Amino acid sequence: MATHPTSGGQPRAAASSDPIADLQMRLAYQDDDIRQLNAAVVRQQEVIDGLQREVGRLRELVETLASPPAEPSGDEPPPHY
């Protein structure tokens, strides 16, 4: 996140004496923070989507491996030992 010109949520004493300028500066920092947070959320959602796809593939694989083998048909020759 950006370094804010405030300490503990309170403007520094050396900050501008113009309250409008102070608010504009705080708004600019907040806008930057929102953009950064949004980018982080987008990246996290992309990771979540990929993980959900992978879980789906793994679930299908487990179901395939867990299913009973097909019964042999009468056309197959018996196994020879």
**pLDDT score at 68:** 79
- Angle (CA) 60-63-64 rounded to 5° is 85
Integer Cα distance of 30 and 25 in angstroms: 9
**pLDDT per residue rounded down to tens, the chain (81 residues):** 555 555 455 555 455 689 999 999 999 999 999 999 999 999 999 999 999 999 999 999 999 999 877 676 667 777 775
Identify the pLDDT of residue 75.
74
pTM higher than 0.75, yes or no? no
Predicted pLDDT of residue 7: 47
The predicted pLDDT at position 71 comes to 72
Taking a C-beta distance cutoff of 8 angstroms, is the pair 46, 22 a contact?
Answer: no
> How many C-beta neighbours within 10 Å does residue 29 have?
15
